Each structure stands twice: as C-alpha cells, then as structure tokens.
Amino acid sequence: MTSTPPPQPPVQLAQTVADAERRTRLYETFLNNTPDLAYVFDLQHRFIYANSVLLQLWGKTWEEAIGKTCLELGYEPWHADMHSREIDQVVATKQPIRGEVPFAGTFGQRIYDYIFVPVLGPDGEVEAVAGTTRDTTERKQAEQALQLASQRKDEFLAMLAHELRNPLAPISAAAQLIAMHNADQERLQRSIEIINRQVTHMVGLVDDLLDVSRVTRGLVSIDQLPQDLKTVINDSIEQVRPLMESKQHRFSLNLCAEHVSILGDHKRLVQIVTNLLNNAAKYTQTKGSIELDMRVQDGQAVISVSDDGIGIAADDQPHIFELFAQAKRNSDRSQGGLGIGLAVVKGMIELHGGSIHCYSNGIGQGSRFTVYLPSILSQASAAEADNVARTSAQSNQTTVLVVDDNIDAADMLACLLETLGYIPIVENGSLSALQRAQQTRPQVCILDIGLPEMDGNELARRLRAQPETAKALLIAVTGYGQAHDRETSLQAGFDHHLVKPVNLDALIAILAAKFSPH
C-alpha cells in the first residue's frame, strides 16, 4: 500500500506556490517578448497556448484563438492538413519534426521556419506538442539575392571571356598572314585594318570594365561646366551613325526649339547618350526605327531614346540597370558588348543629379529609355550667360552671402561677385553667418562645407528653416565631389554643389538661371 506524503506546512506551501508563480511570470515574460512564435497543441490539434506575437499574427485575442484548430483559425486547408499530419507524426514517433512554410497573416506574406516537439507526461507518453516558428523572410531573400548575384557574376565572367576571345581570333589570323612572306600588299593592308579594328573593339571593352569599376566604387569625378545639350546630342549621334547606317536604320531626331544647357561633363554626357543610341542600334533589327527626342519639362532636360527592336521582358526591366544583370540576348551573341553599359550610364546620370527610366511592352515590342537631367538654362544661350548674370545683378541688386573660414578664398570670391555686379557679404564663421543672414536676407548663400562651429550642411539646414532665407539659392562649395558628397549636400537643402576651385562660368550660369529678368 502506497503511503501518502504528509501535507506541507502552510509556510512551505505558500513558498511553493510563490516559486511556481515566479517561474510562470518568467516564462510568460520570455515567451511574450521573443520575436518568434511559440505555441502548444493538444492531442486533438487544438491550440492550448499561443504567445503574444502569434496572437498578433492571427489578429485575434486569447479568448478568440485558444481551443481552436489551424483550420478554424483561418489557415488554408492544405496548410491545416499538413500541420495535423505533422502533429500526429510527432505523437506517434516521439520525435521532433521541422519544416518551412509561407503564411499570409497580419504581417503580410512571410516565410516561416518551424519545429514541433513532443511534450512527454510522467508516464513517458506524449501529452501535447509544443512548437516554435521563426520568420526567415529576410534571410531567405538575402540568400536568394546572393545566389542571383553569384549566378549573374558567373554569367558575366563567361560572357567576358567570350567577348575577349572573339577579337583575338581575327587578330591572330591577321598576324599569321602578315608573317607570310608571299602575302600581297592588298592582303597585308586588309590584315592591318582588321587588327586595328579589333584592337579598338578590345580597348572599348576594357574601358567599359574600368568605367563600371570606377562608378561602383565612387571614384569618378566630373566637371561642372555649362554644356549645350544639343551639341552633346549631335556629338553622340556622330559616334553611332556608322552603326545605324550599316544596319539601314530609320533615325528620327526631334529637338525642342529652345536652347537647353546643363551643368556637367561634356565627355561623360556624350558617353551617356552614345551608349543609349548604341544599345538601340545593337538591339534593333536591320531597317528598324530609332528615335531620339529632347525637350524641357518642369525645369528638367528630358532625353528619350526609343526603338522598335527586340524589347525587354517585364521581369528584366526592374534589373536592367544593375551590374551583371542583362536582358536575354541571341544565342550567337551577335550584338556584342558586355551588358554593363547601362550600369555605367545610370551611375554617370546620377553624378549629374539626374535619373533614368526604362519602359518596354515586352519581347519584340521595342524599348524606350528616358533620361532626366536638371536644366540650368532655358530660353537663353550659354554664350549669353555672363551678360544675363551681369544685367540681372545690376537691375535686381542681388545680395550674395559668402561663408568660408578661408579668409583669402572668401575675399577673392566676393571680389569676383562684386565685379559681376552682385552685392557680396562675407562671413568666416557659421554662427555669425546665420545671424548675418537673418539681418540682411540674402537671395544667394555660397557656403563652404568644411566650416568650424557647424559644417556647411548643417548651416544649410538652418538657413532653410528660418523664414528670412528659406527660399534663398544655396550653393555648396567644397573640395569633395563624389556622388555621396553631392547627395548629402542636396539632402541638406543645397540647390547646387560646386567643387573647389569654383568654376566661374558654372557659377555665372547658375546665377543667371535664377536671376535672369522676366
């Protein structure tokens, strides 16, 4: 006969209850503050416990959820059936089971990794099944992105090897022909032309590789000079014309009537337009159509290159400007090139403060690439910029606040502005400049970035915040001209970013665009 343990004294019983309550609080605190889902099923597949984050996922209260099965809680039938089978398997085998499943709850469509484990009673039998589930969506997306990047890199390297070997074959054959003593003069001349042409092609491939490397590492710097956009476009067309003529393309050029000028680097701007035209020519069939439009829209210069060529699949369009990503091409790769030109183009456009967008109705439906660049001059020619600046300054008596802790640099810039007819005000400190701006209400503020007390970016934010200078033209002047430096200054409120030493023509053009008489 089993003896019954003696009852605990009241003090010991109270301590036991207190310890149990303390453990319960600890477990509840942990389970309700973990980002993972925690839960327990009974042997009839009903939830007998669910932590706070799981209740949030369901969008239900404890009373609404506890005692319900997956199916009763809104799980899709296939999903509920799968978990029922897994619960039964854990009960039968007394072994954990693990899986991964997508689920759409109040947190949206996510991917979850889960594990079910048996809860054994005193008799060694399974009395419940506990589980935890972790949201692995971000990890899965990162793994897929890495896998895709690796795949694209491998494809790119294979393509690079192919493209570099292609010109080597005719170069090798031509060199062997030259080495033959019985080759006539005509064949020798043709061999030399082949070598020159193929070497030029290889140099172009290497230049593309160097450009994309510089752009992705932020090592490309550009000039900031007023550029006539029509001249840029005409220079680009001249470079691509032989390719378009060889394929008998119908080329249409539509330029707006007004003069359009932008701040930038002529060589890089030509590279942008040339690349877009080259792509259109490469991927447009013989006797196809290519069109280039240029217009001014909302203060921006807009360049659009359209074709009726092979088009771009909808799935490829969001990735068309990514490095190592490219649309499907013919198996014989007759178009040539490395497929990295658009990544370079996007980087160059962003260095100029612009953006690019791609659109295609799909494979075989042609494509359109549209570039947006900030315009500094419209209606007035760049050659007239100096006169416009002088006239407007004299008529409007424009006040310009120059802030630079380099006293000589500030004084020389002030002298130049005064010569042009502006009224310069010089400050060498940020705090004094802020106070002076409140008093004088300058229309223009030219600020050094590397200032003591507070840097030029913070000074720009404060000038934008006070009513006296909220609408002033803010021009950053700095020794740093990388893409992230320009982005930081624009986010701080600057309208323009000039690199030291300040190019006077660029400054005149900016002032002329803002203060030209109407």
173-200 mean pLDDT? 79
β-bridge mates for residue 258, sequence order = none
pLDDT for 152? 67
Looking at the structure, do residues 403 and 506 belong to the same domain, yes or no? yes
- What is d(CA 147, CA 124) in angstroms, rounded to the nearest whole number? 45
Judgement on whether residues 368 and 237 belong to the same structural domain of the protein: yes
Torsion of CA 80, 82, 85, 87, to 10 degrees: -70
Angle at 49 between CA 43 and CA 51, to 5 degrees: 145
Top-confidence residue, 392 or 140: 140
Structural tokens at position 17: 């209850």
Give the pLDDT mean for 6-21. Answer: 66
Task: Show which of 199, 216, 233 is a domain's final residue.
Answer: 216
Residues 374 and 234 in one domain: yes
Give the residue from 386, 461, 446 showing the smallest Cα distance to 411: 446
Is 335 or 360 the better-scoring residue by pLDDT?
Answer: 360
Q: Say whether both 129 and 145 belong to one domain.
A: no
Could you tell me what percent of the chain has a pLDDT over 90?
42
| Residues 374, 388 within the same domain | no
One domain for residues 238 and 159 = no
Percent of the chain with pLDDT over 70: 81
Domain-embedded: residue 4: no
pLDDT at 169: 72
Cβ-contact 269, 353 below 8 angstroms: no
Domain boundary among 216, 249, 264: 216
The identity of residue 256, as a single letter, is: C
Please provide the size of the chain in residues: 518
241 and 334 assigned to the same domain: yes
Q: The domain that contains 102 carries what CATH number?
A: 3.30.450.20
* pLDDT number for residue 253: 93
Cα-Cα-Cα-Cα dihedral of 494, 499, 500, 503, to 10°?
-100
Average pLDDT estimate for 59-73? 94
17 has pLDDT over 70: no
Q: Summarize the confidence of residues 439-466 as an average pLDDT.
A: 92
Averaged pLDDT for residues 44-59: 94
Q: What is the pLDDT of residues 306-348, one digit of tens each?
A: 999 999 888 888 878 876 555 444 433 444 444 567 888 888 8
CATH value at residue 166: 1.10.287
Mean model confidence pLDDT for the chain? 83
Could you tell me the residue range of the domain that residue 18 belongs to?
10-135
Query: What does the pLDDT read at residue 259?
Result: 84
Number of compact structural domains in the chain: 4
- The answer to whether the CB of 278 falls within 8 A of the CB of 243 is yes
Number of Cβ atoms within 10 Å of the Cβ of 403: 25
**Is there a domain that residue 470 lies in?**
yes
Q: What is residue 329's predicted lDDT score, i.e. its pLDDT? A: 43
126 secondary structure, DSSP code: E
* Residue 459 shares a structural domain with residue 319: no
Instruction: Find all residues with CB under 8 Å of 289, minimum gap 6, and list them.
Output: 249, 250, 251, 252, 307, 308
Same domain for 361 and 288? yes
Average pLDDT over residues 193-199: 81
Q: What's the pLDDT band for 395 if we cut at 50, 70, 90?
A: very low
Tell me what the mean pLDDT of segment 364-393 comes to.
64
- Which has the minimum average pLDDT: 47-56, 222-231, 357-366, 477-486? 477-486
For 322, the token pair is 């990514």
Write out 34-63 in H/E/C secondary structure.
Answer: CCCEEEEECCCCCEEEECHHHHHHHCCCHH
Helix (H, G, I), strand (E, B) or coil at 212: helix
More reliable by pLDDT, 208 or 450: 450
- Rg from Cα positions in the chain: 35
pLDDT of residue 507: 86
SS3 312: coil
Q: In terms of domains, do 131 and 146 share one?
A: no
What is the C-alpha separation between 35 and 53, in angstroms, rounded? 7
Mean pLDDT for 155-180 is 72
Residue 412 has pLDDT above 60, yes or no: yes
Mean pLDDT for the stretch of residues 184-206: 78
The answer to whether the bond into 501 is cis (omega within 30° of 0) is yes
Separation of CA 399 from chain center: 38
pLDDT of residue 392: 42
Whether 336 and 307 share a structural domain: yes
